[in-house]
Amino acid sequence: MLKQSLRHGWSYDARPQVYEYDETATDDFGFARLWSGGMSTALLSREGIVHVAAIVEGTAEVTVDGSKVQIEAGQIILLDGDSALHAHSPKPWARYGWFFRDSILRGREYRRLMGEPRSITRESLLAMTSVANTSLDANRSGVKPSIHSRIAMEHLAAAAAYEHSSRSRTDPVHRDGLFLAAQTLISERFRDPALTVEVLCRDLAVSASSLHRAYQPMGMSPRREIERHRVAEGLRRLASDDGKHGPSVADIAAESGFTSVVTMRRALTRAGHRAPRGN
């Protein structure tokens, strides 16, 4: 059971199999990218907020004030934070979420669009995710999203919602589950130093270019994801080490999936963490 309040406007009461997210937010607006291996969750928002969700891969059922709608890859949905909301997906799905307080999206012209999944073009989806990815990457360096990012994102969302492409014109980034399949393999096998992008491609029976395209809309790469999992595991192991009877730094590096202590130190430094001393 996951009970958690996130900065991007939702309070979750969820039952996820796997749940990961990356976010940047202020009190008035924010962006997040999320992926989970199935989820059933009640969504409780703050008053006066509008949420925008874009599905990159997978599908979900969203209940808005008792009415159920299905949203799938290549679609966005505008949600009024004052409504009773619930989201459910028995299978893995990847999506972006944005929230805005006192937004132009609360205007009269957008009210009829609330709670209705709307297919959008590939270009609109990539424009929206690119702005979010830029803000999320900047957040790692301590840069919070600016009002200019908010204005750009609000207008992109408004234009995409009105665009409402026909299904025949919609060209979603991908529907084949490749991103989530790769994420599952990485989370299961990152501790094996032999896991590389080449191994992922072989085991998923796809080309390197196909795998990288699957990660592009999420602002990620498979190599960075493998390293991110190893860094997180290394930090967890180092934090629990009392320095007396625990494993050596070399053992921690190996058990976290790194080929050497040097490799782990470099990865930690790239991620903005202090590298451990010793061997």
Do 119 and 27 share a structural domain? yes
- The closest of 74, 89, 76 to 43, measured between CA atoms, is 89
Task: Extract the tokens encoding 7.
Answer: 């900065």
Which of the four pLDDT bands, split at 50, 70 and 90, describes residue 34? confident
Specify the number of domains making up the chain. 2
Task: Extract the tokens encoding 89.
Answer: 């997906």
Do 134 and 24 share a structural domain? yes
Is 278 a domain residue? Answer: no
Do 120 and 29 share a structural domain? yes
Distance CA 119, CA 166 (A): 7
What mean pLDDT, rounded, does the chain reach? 83
Dihedral sign for Cα 186, 192, 196, 202, please: negative
Task: Extract the tokens encoding 219.
Answer: 């602002």
Is 197 a domain residue? Answer: yes
Is 276 a domain residue? Answer: no
Is 73 a domain residue? Answer: yes
Task: Extract the tokens encoding 194.
Answer: 């032999």
| pLDDT tens per residue, range 152-182 | 899 999 888 887 644 434 444 555 688 888 9
Residue with tokens 């070399």: 250
Is 185 a domain residue? Answer: yes
Mean pLDDT for 60-71 is: 90
Q: What is the CATH number of the domain that holds 226?
A: 1.10.10.60
Do 222 and 93 share a structural domain? no
| pLDDT tens per residue, range 217-267 | 888 899 999 998 999 899 888 887 666 667 889 999 999 999 999 999 999
Q: Where does a domain end: 121, 139, 163?
A: 163
Dihedral sign for Cα 207, 213, 218, 222, please: positive
Domain that holds residue 242: 178-270
